[in-house]
């Protein structure tokens, strides 16, 4: 007479178990398994009471459960082993920056006793379904891509979300109204409506005819009536380059062929030399659309020290290209160290009496 233990169930991992065999009168017995994934010890015939050890192989490559039996002297002992819940739809998913579920859901095949764990990041959300899980991602308003993970049936699922393509531009965005030949303009990168000088070094700058530095400082062509194009290229992380262009035209200076009226500075003494510099770009008024001017008067001697002079900075008095000297107004004037002007706080230039320049 033989006695066997109850039926046993194993997980997909497998394992080891024992059977207690009780033989009356030192009877002989032998054992066998119905499937090769169950190994027995001892395998040779035995007699009397003993312990039979069996080893269950892993079922990790099979989502389905399986069953086999161990026979001892005609008695049957049943072994049930669970399958491994496996992911049949993939382990990596990509979603657009707008969010959503990408190309999910995640499909699980195998035993029903699997579970899921959510999530490594707050922008991922997971819900269990009848045959797996579905997931969704919040919109990514940052230009940088991001990754998050969750686990299903002990296996890691990775979700990659694209960054939002930035709105890229430059300031100024247009110079089609014209700039003074050889003038300097600082371009600044604008990303998602924000202008920051630190963005400039992230942009590749290029100009067809003028020159532009690595930080966007542009010098227009020195010729009048010239055309140019400034290109700015920004490459967001993990995305395609974005290029914007600004068309540039240089202006032509109007002819200066009329006289200028110069009022004596202190009622005596006559200014006999003046120099008209057009344009100036480093004074109080600096607008490349028009023609700021600087006039330098030097008493009697055109070769005198520039410090012995009078400087007057002018700007157009209306939003149009000036044609006459009377179209200008004084921005500022300074008297330097010439003795005859020392008592005067400002130079005097009567624009209303000047028909031209």
Phi, psi of 278 (to 5 degrees): -135, 125
Q: How far is CA 32 from CA 28, 138, 229, 299, in A?
A: 14, 57, 87, 125
Distances (CA, A) of 146 to 89, 91, 124, 164, 343: 21, 16, 11, 11, 70
- Pairing state of beta strands 75-81 and 8-10? parallel
DSSP conformation letters of 35-88? STTEEEE--S-EESSEEEEEEEPP-TT-SS-EEEEEEETTEEEEEEEPPPPEES
| Gap between the Cα atoms of 178 and 279, Å rounded | 14
Q: How many CB atoms lie within 10 A of CB 104?
A: 21
Contact 145, 237 (CB under 8 A): yes
Model pLDDT, residue 77: 87
What mean pLDDT is predicted for residues 331-348? 55
- Interval 76-134: pLDDT, tens: 889 998 888 788 788 888 888 888 765 567 888 877 778 899 999 999 999 988 888 99
The dihedrals phi and psi of 264, each to the nearest 5 degrees, come to: -55, 150
293 Cα distance to chain centroid: 43
User: Highest mean pLDDT range out of 41-45, 313-317, 349-353?
Assistant: 41-45
Q: Evaluate the CA torsion angle 37, 39, 45, 46 in order and state its sign.
A: negative
What is the tens place of the pLDDT at every residue in 263-308?
444 444 444 444 554 444 443 344 444 555 666 665 555 555 555 5
What domains appear along the chain, each with residue ranges and CATH number? 8-81 (2.60.40.10), 86-161 (2.60.40.10), 168-250 (2.60.40.1080), 273-353 (no CATH)
CA separation for the pair 178, 150 (Å, rounded): 57
Instruction: Flag whether pLDDT at 356 surpasses 50.
Output: no
Average model confidence (pLDDT) across the chain: 76
Residue 142 CA to chain centroid, in angstroms? Answer: 7
Contact 117, 44 (CB under 8 A): no
Q: In this model, does residue 233 exceed pLDDT 50?
A: yes
**Span 223-228, average pLDDT:** 86
pLDDT tens-digit readout, 179-213: 877 888 999 999 888 898 888 999 999 999 999 99
Are the C-beta atoms of 75 and 94 separated by less than 8 Å? no
């Amino acid at each position: 007479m033989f006695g066997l233990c109850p039926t046993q169930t194993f997980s997909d991992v497998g394992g080891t178990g024992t059977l207690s065999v009780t033989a009356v009168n030192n009877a002989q017995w032998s054992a066998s398994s119905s499937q090769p994934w169950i190994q027995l010890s001892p395998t040779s015939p035995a007699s009397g009471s003993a312990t039979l050890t069996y080893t269950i192989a892993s079922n990790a490559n099979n989502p389905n459960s399986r069953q086999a039996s161990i026979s001892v002297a005609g008695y049957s002992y049943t072994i049930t082993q669970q399958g491994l819940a496996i992911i049949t739809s993939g382990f990596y998913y990509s979603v657009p920056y707008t969010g959503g579920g990408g190309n999910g859901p995640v499909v699980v095949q195998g035993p029903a006793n699997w579970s899921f764990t959510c999530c490594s990041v707050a922008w991922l959300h997971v819900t269990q379904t009848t045959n797996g899980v579905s997931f969704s991602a919040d919109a990514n308003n940052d230009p940088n891509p991001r990754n998050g993970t969750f686990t299903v049936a002990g296996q890691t699922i990775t979700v990659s979300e694209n960054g939002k393509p930035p709105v890229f531009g430059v300031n100024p965005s247009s110079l089609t109204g014209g700039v003074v030949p050889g003038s300097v303009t600082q371009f600044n990168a604008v990303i998602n409506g924000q202008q920051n000088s630190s963005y400039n070094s992230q942009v590749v700058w290029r100009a067809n005819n003028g020159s532009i530095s690595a930080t966007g400082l542009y010098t227009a062509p020195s010729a009048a009536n010239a055309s140019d194009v400034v290109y700015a290229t920004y490459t967001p992380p993990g995305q395609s380059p974005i290029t914007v262009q600004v068309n540039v035209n240089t202006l032509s200076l109007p002819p200066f062929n009329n006289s200028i009226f110069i009022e004596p500075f202190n009622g005596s003494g006559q200014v006999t030399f003046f120099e008209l510099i057009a344009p100036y770009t480093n004074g109080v008024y600096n607008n490349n659309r028009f023609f700021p001017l600087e006039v330098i008067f030097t008493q009697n001697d055109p070769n005198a020290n520039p410090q012995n002079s009078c400087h007057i900075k002018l700007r157009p008095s209306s939003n149009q290209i000036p044609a006459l000297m009377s179209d200008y107004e004084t921005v500022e004037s300074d008297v330097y160290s010439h003795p005859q002007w020392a008592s005067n706080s400002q130079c005097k230039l009567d624009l209303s009496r000047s028909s031209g320049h």
